[in-house]
Amino acid sequence: MKRLFWITTLILVLSTLTVATVSAQGSTPTDDEVNAIAKQMYCPVCENTPLDVCPTTACKEWREEIRGMLADGKSEAEIKQHFADYYGARVLAEPPRTGLNWLLYVLPPIAIVAGVFVLFRALRAWSQASTSSPQRATGAGADEDEAAPSSDDEYIARMEEELRKRD
C-alpha cells in the first residue's frame, strides 16, 4: 500500500516536471527569465559589470543566446556551463569549486577560526592570570577599575560619583 503511494507520488511529480518543460519550450522566454540567469554572469570584456545590466552590443547578443538556449529547454546550470566552457570560468560570478579555487573558499574561514581561537586563548590566559594573582590585578590599573555594576542602581550610583568628580 505504502509502496503504491510512493510510486504514484513519483509519477505525479515527474509528470508535472515534464509539463513544465514542455510549456517552457512552447513560448519565447521573457526578459525576466533571461535576466535571472544573466544576473549571475559576467562578460569577459566589460569587467565587473553583471551581464543583465551591461549595455554593450556583445552583451546584448549573449542575452539573446541565453534566450535561445532557454527556448531550447536548457536548464540554468547547463547554460552557465556552456558559457564557462566557451569563454572560461571568468564569466561566472564565482569561481567553480575545483582545484586551486578551493583556496578562495577555505582560506577565509580558516583564518577567521584561527583568529577566534587565538583571541579566546589570549582572553582566557589573561583572565586566569588576573584571578590567580589577585595582587597583580589590583596593582597598576586598580584605581581605574570600577567595580562591576550588579544592578541599575549601582550603575547610576557610579555615574553620579563620576559626575561629582567631574564638575
Partner 1 sequence: MLADFGFGVLIVTFVVALYSVIAAIIGERKQSAQMVESARRAQLLTFPLLSLAAGVLIYLLVNNHFDVSFVYEVTSRSMPTYLKVTAWWGGQAGSLLFWAWLLSAFTSAVTLRKWERDREFLPWVIVVSSITLAFFLSLNIFFNENPFARFYQTIDGVQAYDFRPVGGIPITPQDGQGLNPLLRHPGMIIHPPMLYLGFVSFVIPFAFAIAALVTGRTDDRWTRITRRWTLWAWLFLSLGLVLGGRWAYDVLGWGGYWGWDPVEIAAFMPWLTGTAFLHSVMIQEHKGMLKQWNMILIILTYSLVIFGTFLTRSGVLSSVHAFAQSAIGPMFFGFIGVTFITSIALLIWRWPELKSETEMKSMISREAFFLLNNLLFLSVLVVCFVGVIYPLASELFTGQKVTVGPPYYERANGPIFGAMMALMGIAPLSAWGKSTALTLGRALWKPTIPALFIPMLAYLAGYRQVVALIGFFLVAFVVSVTLYDTFRSARARQRAQKENFFTALARLAGRNRRRYGGYIIHISMMLMAIGILGIEIFQTETQGTLAQGESLQLAGYTVEYEEVATWPDEGAGVQYTRAVVDVSKDGEYIGQLYPRIDFYFDSQQTMTIPGQRSTLQDDLYILLVDWQPVSSVGATFKIYHNPLVNWLWVGSLVFITGMLFAAWPDKDPSLRPVRVNKRAAEPSAAD
C-alpha cell of residue 105: 573558499
Distances (CA, A) of 88 to 41, 76, 79, 99, 148: 12, 17, 13, 15, 60
At 155, the amino acid letter reads Y
C-alpha cell of residue 129: 592570570
Out of 14, 21, 89, 121, point to the residue binding partner 1 (CB under 8 A).
Answer: 89
Residue 146 lies near partner 1 (rule: CB under 8 A):
yes
Distances (CA, A) of 147 to 106, 127, 143, 165: 43, 16, 10, 17
Part of the chain binding partner 1 (CB under 8 A), chosen from 5-13, 15-23, 70-78, 85-93: 85-93
Residue 124 lies near partner 1 (rule: CB under 8 A):
yes
107 burial (CB, 10 Å; 0-12 / 13-18 / 19+) is exposed
CA–CA dist 133, 18 (Å, integer): 74
CB nearer partner 1, residue 11 or residue 107: 107
CB nearer partner 1, residue 2 or residue 166: 166
CB nearer partner 1, residue 19 or residue 119: 119
Which residues of the chain form contacts with partner 1 (CB under 8 A)?
A: 30-32, 35, 40, 42, 44, 47-50, 53, 55, 60, 88-95, 99-101, 103-104, 107-108, 111-112, 115-116, 119, 122-124, 126-127, 129-130, 136-137, 140-141, 144-152, 155-156, 158-160, 162-167
